[in-house]
Chains A and B, each alone.
Chain A
Amino acid sequence: MSIIFKLFLSILLFVGTSSVAKADLVTDLSERRIDINSTFTGASLLLFGTFTEAFDYDPKRHDIVITVKGPNKPMILRKKAKKGGIWINYFREEYMEIPSYYSVLSSRPLEDISDKPTLGKYGLGTSFLFFNPNLNRQRLPDEKAWLDFRNAAVRLKKEEKLYIDQPNGVKFVGNGLFRANVDFPANVDVGKYEVSAYLFRDGNMIFEEHSPITMSKFGFSNQLTQFAHNYPWTHGFAAVLFALFSGWLAAVVFKRK
């Protein structure tokens, strides 16, 4: 692993010396495509890169922030309340679209890297993620409740490991090279993900780079899901036929005993 990694880096550096002058920041990923199969329990992606000024890299001046964003999905958040002695879903907020996955990794805690307006401008960190409620269906009483709901959504996503804050997730490994490990849990959504890398100098964002990765369900479980979603009625019939076959098989096998 480490030999391959070093090889990658030296190639990157070699290519980098000619092109980095134009692009201040260069990154690459260990994989561009992650397949979810039936034994998928999560994945880890290695990101590495370097930048023009890396040769006089100063940890107090230079910072790297990496974000990985999953496809946006409309979501509904419900809050329970006690009604008639039992707890039922009572309050609700609909969000038009929120990232299904969001990971932010940085070389230092974000608040040490830059000020809030700058972080907000580039949407860096879970506190700056834009959640747009469906205003037509908004029934929450006040701003405090909106904020309460938004924070709960972020917390739930973090508990599912779908939102990840890694304030020291970007490591400099020497010679101005940095690396970061991006983790994906088993329940990630399929689709196009965007990997963004930002270079900060003295608290100012001076270069950004964006590249896509693809998360796809693969193999048998993917085909099954596709089938279930694209042909739900046929899938239902097939599920019943399969169950009837299994039941018949069980009856025949155990009759002999």
Chain B
Amino acid sequence: MHIYLPIAEISVNIFLLLAIGGGIGFLSGLFGVGGGFLLTPLLIFTGIPPAVAVATGANQIVASSLSGVMAHFRRKTVDIKMGLVLLSGGIVGSFLGVGLFNWLKSVGQVDLLISISYVVFLGIIGSLMLAESLRAIWRLRNGTAPPRRRPGSHNWVHKMPLKMRFRASHLYISAIPPIIIGMLVGVLASIMGVGGGFIMVPAMIYILKMPTNVVVGTSLFQIMFVTALVTILHSGQNQTVDVVLATISLVGGVIGAQFGVRFSQKLRPELLRALLAGMVMLVCLKLGFDLVLQPEEMFQLMPLNMASE
């Protein structure tokens, strides 16, 4: 059964969309990640215009991050103050990102920007995760203990001005690093249609040294607002948010996530991380090859939006 997507202006099989949404939801339940960084490329692979895939991806993440953040509020694992500081950077980053997106759209290079961003970030994150998880599996095989991290050790983050106290995170650090991290994530959200959790979570742990229990909730809190802003900016300036597409993939995602959570309890975490890393690398390689290999179709015909030229 096909459904006509009004903004993407194509007819797509509804079960294919549900399956993609379900698959991403399954993965996000399984691995505890948002999954936006896999959703957007998969939507592009099915023929949805990249600009629509990015804007709609952001819209869908608003929904999934609210579900997540509600659970974290109940457990009181959200550092609201830190979230707001990250968000102030995120707002600036979103405007910068959408501005960059629009400029590249007008010169016909937005698809290239999206592809390159994905190849770079999926490549970095995928290889780091793969290396880390393989090391962990190796250690388990050999029975050696993992090296201990020393929490609370001071680094350059603590030498910057504009210090603030973050009670929930037990931190007294400069507001500048969180603002910069938030800004980077805002830019990524607007050009990649992702929440940016895969960048923010490691940055919060390793750079800000936040305790791990508040990291995910705080990151989701910030992601929800940033993706909401990105959705509004893309809708307002580019009219590329397809609510029908977002709803279908969301329905699939919600159901898939439930199965993912249950299935994750049967697998070892190191193995899970290695599998996710492998998948991230596959998507990265596919996008990378598409950039380098001679395309089958050399031409691209698009409606000319006089306003943007």
- The answer to whether A79 and B299 touch across the interface, beta carbons within 8 angstroms, is yes
- The answer to whether B66 and A156 touch across the interface, beta carbons within 8 angstroms, is no
Q: Does A217 contact B (CB under 8 A)?
A: yes
- The answer to whether B62 and A229 touch across the interface, beta carbons within 8 angstroms, is no
Q: Does A236 contact B (CB under 8 A)?
A: yes
Q: Does A86 contact B (CB under 8 A)?
A: yes
Cα separation A50 to B258 with both chains bound (whole Å):
63
Q: Does A221 contact B (CB under 8 A)?
A: yes
Q: Does B222 contact A (CB under 8 A)?
A: no
- The answer to whether B232 and A75 touch across the interface, beta carbons within 8 angstroms, is no
Residue in contact with A186 in the complex, picked from B11, B237, B301, B304, CB distance below 8 Å: B11
Q: Does A177 contact B (CB under 8 A)?
A: no
State whether A235 and B241 are in contact (beta carbons under 8 Å apart), knowing that A92-B108, A187-B11 are contacts in the complex: yes
Q: Which of chain A's residues have a CB closer than 8 A to the CB of B67? A: 247-248, 250-251, 254
Residue of chain A at shortest CB distance from B290: A87
Q: Which of chain A's residues have a CB closer than 8 A to the CB of B11? A: 40-41, 186-187
Q: Which of chain B's residues have a CB closer than 8 A to the CB of A239? A: 59, 231-232, 235, 241, 243, 246
- The answer to whether A78 and B302 touch across the interface, beta carbons within 8 angstroms, is yes
Q: Which of chain B's residues have a CB closer than 8 A to the CB of A36? A: 4
The residues in A between 94 and 138 inclusive whose CB is less than 8 angstroms from any CB of B are 94-95
- The answer to whether A78 and B7 touch across the interface, beta carbons within 8 angstroms, is no
Q: How far is the CB of A241 from chain B (nearest CB, A)?
A: 9
- The answer to whether A74 and B306 touch across the interface, beta carbons within 8 angstroms, is yes
Q: Which of chain A's residues have a CB closer than 8 A to the CB of B9? A: 187
Residue in contact with A75 in the complex, picked from B71, B244, B302, CB distance below 8 Å: B302
The residues in B between 242 and 284 inclusive whose CB is less than 8 angstroms from any CB of A are 243-244, 246-247, 250, 254, 258
- The answer to whether A86 and B304 touch across the interface, beta carbons within 8 angstroms, is no
Q: How far is the CB of B118 from chain A (nearest CB, A)?
A: 13
- The answer to whether A75 and B304 touch across the interface, beta carbons within 8 angstroms, is yes
Cα separation A40 to B301 with both chains bound (whole Å):
23
- The answer to whether A39 and B2 touch across the interface, beta carbons within 8 angstroms, is yes
- The answer to whether A233 and B235 touch across the interface, beta carbons within 8 angstroms, is yes
Q: Does B157 contact A (CB under 8 A)?
A: no
Q: Does A89 contact B (CB under 8 A)?
A: yes
Q: Does A37 contact B (CB under 8 A)?
A: yes
State whether A77 and B301 are in contact (beta carbons under 8 Å apart), knowing that A40-B11, A186-B4 are contacts in the complex: yes
State whether A89 and B231 are in contact (beta carbons under 8 Å apart), knowing that A73-B303, A228-B7, A247-B66 are contacts in the complex: no
- The answer to whether A244 and B66 touch across the interface, beta carbons within 8 angstroms, is yes
- The answer to whether B304 and A94 touch across the interface, beta carbons within 8 angstroms, is yes
Q: How far is the CB of B102 from chain A (nearest CB, A)?
A: 13
Residue of chain B at shortest CB distance from A95: B304
Q: Which of chain B's residues have a CB closer than 8 A to the CB of A89? A: 108-109, 111-112, 300
Q: Does A174 contact B (CB under 8 A)?
A: no
Cα separation A116 to B250 with both chains bound (whole Å):
55
Q: Does B160 contact A (CB under 8 A)?
A: no
Residue of chain B at shortest CB distance from A73: B303
- The answer to whether A82 and B294 touch across the interface, beta carbons within 8 angstroms, is yes
The residues in A between 24 and 77 inclusive whose CB is less than 8 angstroms from any CB of B are 36-41, 73-77
Cα separation A229 to B236 with both chains bound (whole Å):
9
Contact with A along B228-239 (1 / 0, CB 8 A): 100111111101
Residue in contact with B232 in the complex, picked from A186, A224, A236, A247, CB distance below 8 Å: A236
Residue of chain A at shortest CB distance from B74: A255
State whether A38 and B244 are in contact (beta carbons under 8 Å apart), knowing that A76-B108, A187-B10, A254-B258 are contacts in the complex: yes
- The answer to whether B59 and A240 touch across the interface, beta carbons within 8 angstroms, is yes
Residue in contact with A244 in the complex, picked from B63, B232, B254, CB distance below 8 Å: B63
Residue in contact with A236 in the complex, picked from B2, B235, B304, CB distance below 8 Å: B235
Residue of chain B at shortest CB distance from A86: B291
Q: Does A141 contact B (CB under 8 A)?
A: no
Q: Does B94 contact A (CB under 8 A)?
A: no
Q: Which of chain B's residues have a CB closer than 8 A to the CB of A187? A: 9-11
Q: Which of chain B's residues have a CB closer than 8 A to the CB of A73? A: 303-304
Q: Which of chain B's residues have a CB closer than 8 A to the CB of A237? A: 232
Residue of chain A at shortest CB distance from B235: A236
Residue of chain B at shortest CB distance from A38: B4
- The answer to whether A228 and B306 touch across the interface, beta carbons within 8 angstroms, is no
The residues in A between 180 and 224 inclusive whose CB is less than 8 angstroms from any CB of B are 186-187, 217, 221-222, 224
Contact with B along A146-160 (1 / 0, CB 8 A): 000100110111000
30 interchain pairs (CB within 8 A)?
Answer: A36-B4, A38-B3, A41-B11, A73-B304, A75-B302, A76-B304, A77-B301, A78-B300, A86-B291, A86-B292, A88-B112, A157-B301, A187-B10, A225-B6, A228-B235, A228-B239, A232-B237, A235-B239, A236-B236, A236-B241, A240-B59, A242-B247, A243-B62, A244-B66, A247-B63, A247-B64, A248-B70, A250-B254, A251-B66, A257-B258
